[in-house]
Structure 1
Amino acid sequence: MARNERVVGAAENVDMSGPSEPEPYEVAVDERRVVSAYCCTCEEETTLFLEVGEDSPWEHDEKNASHVVDYWREA
């Protein structure tokens, strides 16, 4: 049996903030970079030594999509 309800807008769990800044591992891929990563969910951390052309996130971030991971570039 069908209902006569009409849905307008987005679900509550949809991120409506728009595009964000690129992550540090995605920037300046034509040079070597040192990027630190910290998982706010399970408190794991690592340092990524990225070679020229690498633009992939931390493996932990890829395997745990529901975790919140912060990236920052070391100077």
Structure 2
Amino acid sequence: MVGASENADMRGPSEADPYEVDVDERRVVSAYCCTCGKTAGLLLEVGDDSPWEHDEKHASHMVDYWMEMSA
């Protein structure tokens, strides 16, 4: 593996990504523009990977997306 850390343990299965487990749920994704400070909450259907409208209009801006997982 190129670029792997020497102390990374890559043996065994890793935990499933929450997006792979909750395949039937709608997702509330938060978006934050690091460039201008705008924020939004996006309600996405399963399989929808549309970017935030602000992200499309301002391609040079750096936008962070995240989803809070409930326990």
Q: TM-score, normalised by structure 1?
A: 0.57
TM superposition outliers: structure 1 runs of 4+ over 4 Å: none
Alignment of 1:4-43 (within 5 A): 28=20, 30-31=23-24, 32-43=26-37
Q: In the alignment, which of 23, 39, 46 is matched to residue 40 of structure 2? A: 46
Stretches of structure 2 lacking an aligned partner (at least 5 in a row): 1-18
> What is the percent sequence identity of the aligned residues?
69
Q: TM-score, normalised by structure 2?
A: 0.59
Stretches of structure 1 lacking an aligned partner (at least 5 in a row): 1-26
User: For the pair shown, which has the larger CA radius of gyration, 1 or 2?
Assistant: 1
**Alignment RMSD (CA, Å):** 1.5
